[in-house]
Structure 1
Amino acid sequence: MQIRPVIEPSENDEQSHQEIQRNNETPSIQSTPLSSNTISEEERSMLKKFWKKMDSIQYNLCPIYNERILSMTLFNGKCQRCFKEKFSREKENLLPEKFSAENNMDLGEVPEELKGLSEIKKMLIAQIFTVITVYRL
């Protein structure tokens, strides 16, 4: 909130009188106090569009890995990794899928505290190991 200093003029003080006139001529910037939480209507509509798009994102579920990945394409009901692995497994005497429940690698249910997280929050808490290949010329 903007607070203007109060100047008590004396009867003979012309400078104080001019100061009061200048303060009265200055238009108030905003009648409501500014806060870090205050956003404009344009920003509010942008946020609504953003959340609407985030909510409309569809994730396909791989039934073997129990994994949801953005833009995962399913082949015969399996993700690309499972579909490719099927052919290599046939060559190796039908071992179970690597990350399946059959191989004791199923992560199970998501904890209750993590179920309501948005995709952005999930990305922020995910462990990411970045691998960069650097070529020296």
Structure 2
Amino acid sequence: MAEAVRYTVRLTAHFERDLDRIEAFLWDTEAYTAFDALLNELSDTVIPNLERFPHMGRVFLARPAHSVEVSNGIENLNAQFNSIANEGDQLREYVLENYLLLYAKIDTVIYLLSIRHHRQLSFNLTSHWPS
């Protein structure tokens, strides 16, 4: 019987910066134990699952765009990804209870690209408002 392929999970520098931002966000919201819980979930559940089942997340670029801006962003992301990807490689998203994780499956390596808490804003608007 053929041996199952074992995938390697690697964190990107961007993913590590996202973790720093999440830690700061959770600290600001006084959710002091939530960051440790996230790290435990990543190490005990998410990473082992992705090592065994890299296709468990949904295909990221398969969702329809509902605006011109999103459509343009998806086209740009798709072009960038296709310039480094091989046949069968995919950008996928893994939905956790409070987080959305973006990862790339390239050959037998899973790259954790980005992670966001569902309550984190994509924009930092504090500098736009008068003091």
Structure of larger gyration radius? 1
Fold similarity call, TM over 0.5 = no
TM-score range, shorter chain: under 0.3
- Larger strand proportion, structure 1 or 2? 2
Larger RCO (CA within 8 A; separation ≥ 6) = 2
Task: Give TM-score, length-normalised by structure 2.
Answer: 0.27
TM-score, L = length of structure 1:
0.26
